[in-house]
């Protein structure tokens, strides 16, 4: 559970994520994932689903989502790419948007677009188990199961490729599966669990 202390300021959170609060709070539903009318139209066209509310007031507000692990990411002007289902809340100063992901998003059942968070402040991400942050360098690219991917930052290029499913080595599957290959310089956030994906075994 995430406790956020507010002193007249505001946060943006996933609609329905508030589980308790003390003090005086106001809740306002925001259209288009907090991006206004243009964002609402964009999200309807892209299929990226994210309903956001603004929480403002004096006191402490508590957020949670299905008992998921919560991971705080501090942004200092860079852009965070994150699955909408894994974004719990952000500081009000952070700007959210959408960007094209192509086959990676389709493989996860999340559509062809994903959510971006940019600016200075903190964002809270959820994961099924404690998230692991993996560094990608030019010398060491990274392959990730689409179902374990949460988010990434940095100057990274993504390639969608087929390869041996990680579960094959455990005797739980057979054949090939899709993976995401990250190249460049940056950080990738993964969870120690796999969501059900469209791009599983073929």
* HEC string for 69-88: EEEEEEEEEEEEEECHHHEE
pLDDT bracket for residue 148 (50, 70, 90): very high
CATH topology of domain 2-190: Double-stranded beta-helix (3.60.160)
Question: Which residues have C-beta within 8 Å of that of residue 171, sequence separation ≥ 6?
Answer: none
Q: What percent of the chain has pLDDT over 70?
A: 73
Domain boundaries, the chain: 2-190
Nearest to 87 by CA among 19, 165, 12: 12
pLDDT bracket for residue 41 (50, 70, 90): very low
- Predicted confidence at residue 160, as pLDDT, reads 81
Q: Is the pLDDT of residue 13 over 70?
A: yes
Other beta carbons less than 10 A from residue 189's beta carbon: 24
Residue range 117-137, pLDDT digits in tens: 999 999 999 999 999 999 999
pTM over 0.85: no
Q: Is the pLDDT of residue 143 over 90?
A: yes
| Cα-only R_g, the chain | 17
The C-alpha angle 54, 77, 45, rounded to 5 degrees, equals 55
pLDDT bracket for residue 199 (50, 70, 90): very low
Residue range 46-87, pLDDT digits in tens: 444 568 899 999 999 999 999 999 999 999 999 999 998 999
Mean of the per-residue pLDDT values of the chain: 82
Please name the residue ranges forming H helices in the chain: 36-46, 103-107
Q: Is the pLDDT of residue 43 over 50?
A: no
- Predicted confidence at residue 162, as pLDDT, reads 74
Distance of alpha carbon 155 from alpha carbon 186, whole angstroms: 6
pLDDT (mean) for 87-96: 94
Residue 197's Cβ-side half-sphere holds a number of Cα atoms within 13 Å equal to 24
């Amino acid at each position: 559970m995430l406790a956020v202390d507010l002193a007249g300021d505001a946060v943006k959170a996933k609609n329905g994520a508030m589980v308790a609060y003390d003090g005086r709070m106001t809740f306002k539903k925001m259209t288009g994932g907090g991006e206004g009318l243009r964002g609402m139209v964009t999200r309807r066209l892209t299929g990226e689903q994210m309903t956001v509310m603004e929480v403002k007031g004096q006191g402490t507000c508590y957020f949670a989502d299905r008992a998921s692990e919560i991971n705080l990411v501090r942004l200092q002007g860079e852009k965070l790419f994150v699955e909408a289902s894994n974004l719990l809340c952000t500081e009000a100063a952070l700007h959210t948007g959408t960007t094209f992901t192509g086959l990676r998003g389709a493989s996860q059942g999340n559509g062809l677009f994903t959510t971006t968070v940019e600016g200075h402040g903190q964002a809270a991400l959820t994961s099924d188990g404690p998230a692991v942050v993996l560094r990608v360098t030019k010398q060491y690219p990274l392959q990730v199961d689409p179902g374990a991917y949460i988010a990434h930052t940095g100057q990274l290029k993504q390639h969608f490729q087929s390869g041996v499913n990680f579960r094959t080595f455990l005797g739980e599957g057979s054949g090939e599966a899709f993976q995401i290959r990250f190249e460049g310089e940056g950080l990738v956030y993964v969870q120690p669990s796999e969501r059900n994906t469209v791009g599983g075994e073929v």
